[in-house]
Amino acid sequence: MAMQEIIEKLIRDGYEFPEITGEIPHGDMPGDKVEINESHIRKAQVIFPELLKKLQENGQEKAVLAVCGGSGVGKSEIASVLGYYLRELGIGTYVLSGDNYPRRIPMYNDAERLSTFRTAGIRGMLLEGVYTEENGQILRDLQEKELDPDPKEISEYPWLDNYIRYGKAALRDYLGTPKEIDFDEVSGILRAFKNGADAIYLKRMGRTDTELWYSCVDFSETDVLIVEWTHGNSDFIDGVDIPILLNSTPEETLAHRRARNRDGKTDSAFTTMVLSIEQKKLHDQAKKAKIIISKDAELLDFAEYTRRMNL
């Protein structure tokens, strides 16, 4: 039975959510920690009926969904549950992790982010005429303590405002752009999937420079490709049919990261800056989302979303 026939039947006749027992297939990021809880299941069950409607409206036999949102908000888990429900109800589905497609492995990308910020910050000090050898030494001390992106230090070192302002602008121009991520490769995968490719080589990226390889994935019976990714609703991607935004505030996102313990510096000033920039970009893209769900599992239209986020 074709996907659109299955969707029509599910909408017409109704369905029960398949029970989740044990581990279910999840995204293809090596070593990704996916722990599904009742909150993820509840959100997926709120999203799912709306998702079926959007798939029906899309009208195609191959569809690409993007589950996007701030870091640690539950993209991997909710995408996994949605994929499980679709498969169990007869719609072949694959979950792809966008985190496999940065241009550098995490260690080098983190270093590039920090270098981008610090290099631009120092150049900004030079442009504004506030760089001196004394300030340079103070700055190096702050960098060693990882306090140089912290705006709290500006009260003691007013010249640091120029450093942070220029550095943040350069970081904004790097994060979530083709400088950081190979969006063309992702778009090419989506295009091949929609064109009916039976098999596609997909990238796998671990955390060391030897953990980079490609796996050939069978798509011959796949109707829906779910991309779970912070940048899944980016303007740089072509081919996403239904972006799903998992909404969270920067404070909620930071709390998620602490709970997930994804890295050892979740409370650093630099991590906070990165999250705030990512959050702003998510807000700017939110108008394209076809489905928006709140932290409390409520479906939101764009007007309600902007009201709640005070935009």
Average pLDDT for residues 157-177, to the nearest whole number? Answer: 98
Quick one: the chain helix, strand, coil %, rounded to 5? 50, 15, 35
Q: What predicted TM-score, i.e. pTM, was given to this entire model?
A: 0.92
CA distance 232 to 264: 25
Q: What angle do CA 89, 92, 96 make, to 5 degrees?
A: 120
Within 10 Å of residue 30's Cβ, how many Cβ atoms?
Answer: 15
251-260 pLDDT, tens per residue? 666 666 666 5
List strand residue ranges (DSSP E) for 52-152, in order.
63-69, 93-97
Mode of pairing for the β-strands spanning 224-228 and 93-97: parallel
The pLDDT of residue 27 is above 90? no
DSSP E strand stretches across the chain? 63-69, 93-97, 199-205, 212-218, 224-228, 242-246, 291-293, 299-300
- Tell me the average pLDDT across 138-157: 98
Residue % of the chain over a pLDDT of 90: 83
pLDDT digits (tens, 9 = 90+) for 218-260: 999 999 999 999 999 999 999 999 999 999 766 666 666 666 5
Mean per-residue pLDDT over the chain, rounded: 93
Per domain, the residue ranges of the chain are 3-101+200-308, 106-172
The Cα angle at residue 182 between residues 180 and 183, in degrees rounded to 5 = 110
From the candidate CATH numbers 3.30.70.1050, 3.40.449.10, 3.40.50.300, 3.40.50.1820, the one assigned to the domain spanning 3-101+200-308? 3.40.50.300
Confidence of residue 59 (pLDDT cuts 50, 70, 90): very high
Rounded Cα distance between 33 and 36, Å, is: 10
